[in-house]
Structure 1
């Protein structure tokens, strides 16, 4: 048995060389050489691109002498990348590799057709169809997408103070349980919102897909719809999934978990000094809500808490998300926004409470600018693509010229005070909010 040995002295300049080549726009395809070595990577790249491959194993750079062709083909030696480069760009990649003191070699080319041809010192030793070498066996498991009949109960108005304190102590419920497709879109929406809230431009995703028994058609239907939602969102936003994991058969005593797609999102901030946090910063600053609040309460923590029923799950408008994302990132980059928090679990009320708790500063908020709807929907709706922004005093006009938003209040005092027009809904001291928020994990674990 052998263990691959990493070489950090090569790894670092290799990373820089690949990044420089990518910035130069000369990489047409790329994969790292991991499991299976060239035997996996060449077939995967060419099969995905709809072309054949011609490979000369005697041109491959070796770490040891006298390796047999089959050993070269399956070697998993570390710190290696396979790049697809057009002939006209070969001088450029050679220049970049010389600059970073990285060895490289031209080992083959893509060709018309769908065959893999491997040569050893001019002699063809393999001639196989790529479908046989690379393509996996496909089995289309039957699935059933359940229909969703829209309904939403309209409860009596609650005690707003008690509801907010209860929401601060509670855990989240999944929209995907109602509609797996909308739930997947919402998961991506929230991942994007969290990055944007600190000033980061979304760059890539990694997913973890957790579902019940796929042998049941309705569970396979949930998986199908969740994947469809994740794919639609990523394609529209132009953000790739660079890795992922699927976990099936999550069930106990015949009961399956709800569809649970998890997203890890990575963002980039060009200047880390411009990154912001979610806590309120200074009294006198203005508070804005970005995004449209709707009466789509399906899957909301508020409806779960009061026992109301709704199948009206929030609908993500990807173009709207993208537009608001660009606006907020620009405002943050220009130094107009000093704190930002996405609106999700618990709605606007929980967002305002968490920003107040974090900054140890209160706020006075008027919900009237949000529009005509009941105050509990304004406060507790979990509609997607929404944020709360704290804007520097005196910079409101500049912010409004960039961001489509509504001014709803001011940072001030030691209480979170909320009204809807002339009607006061609650007035809660920061210490009470903080105690409720801190008790959530303890209450959940018992």
Structure 2
């Protein structure tokens, strides 16, 4: 008996090492000459390593995922030759087979001719294949990839070679046979179409603005649940009794007025930050941007001087601007100059959102949907109309404590809506 050591072959000019990606054998397995025992990968291709001798594997020098240097011991095989280490051994294993390119993949596995398998160990491809009782079918990485992409389980294919390897042509013949196990309903057929859509106009400007906001502003998001039951009752009453010239009220005019009161105590929230100059500009005027979805994309019309408007006036101006934004008649002045922004998805608002700040502002208030949920009143659970405010802040300017204080002030105003109408 003798022992033959297979070393990592030179797999390409200038390549000093390769990653082991697959073993086809394990210690104790018999191997035949020219049988593929492993596959390695370089940055250019996958290379199969065949055995130059027949025998039994006694040692594996690496695990899948390891990086192996060229000429490093890879496998030891016990052979029938006498002489052990003194026995003559080839200087290099049989030439590795390279896969990874269309031409190589197409010709994969075409080893030198050898005797065809006898009828005793040959399973005709014309018959339905059964599961091969192997732990892992023998096939090259390129064949495995082709099988996966074709939806074929290699265990369903009986090898037609004495070494048990499955070739690409075996998979192709299996597919051509139209095996019933591969029948796929039309609705599950693969869709491999792609479409390149160039961002232009409004969509491109939105992409640029969002990139600017997220790349330059470190966001902190604070979420608070608010009991909207009292405000919803008040809103319903006001809508029912409103004058003909008054618009229908949503919750946003109430939130705008609550923001006006809250920023009076925390002027850093109603501000813009010039991060190039390092200057925070506070505003006495509260210009509230209302993020609105239009056929062209997201725009932010601005309700100017919300501090000088009533609930009805806020609602009317917001409705006018929303209509102008939808039909594309909003002017540049009506779409710029906000000092703080509200983002609302209405009934689609979900439970929590993480709104992106409208650069160069430092705060944005996100409105989520209202849902009736049980709430504990101290003695029992009662149905209440609950809503989350998801608000983001520029963490360079606004600390977590300040963000929480601001939202808690808004929560009190919305949960006790009479406070919104009390001056001073």
Give TM class, smaller chain. under 0.3
TM-score by length of 1: 0.21
Q: Which has the larger radius of gyration?
A: 2
Question: Which structure shows the higher helix fraction?
Answer: 1
Structure with more contact order per residue of length (Cα contacts < 8 Å, sep ≥ 6): 1
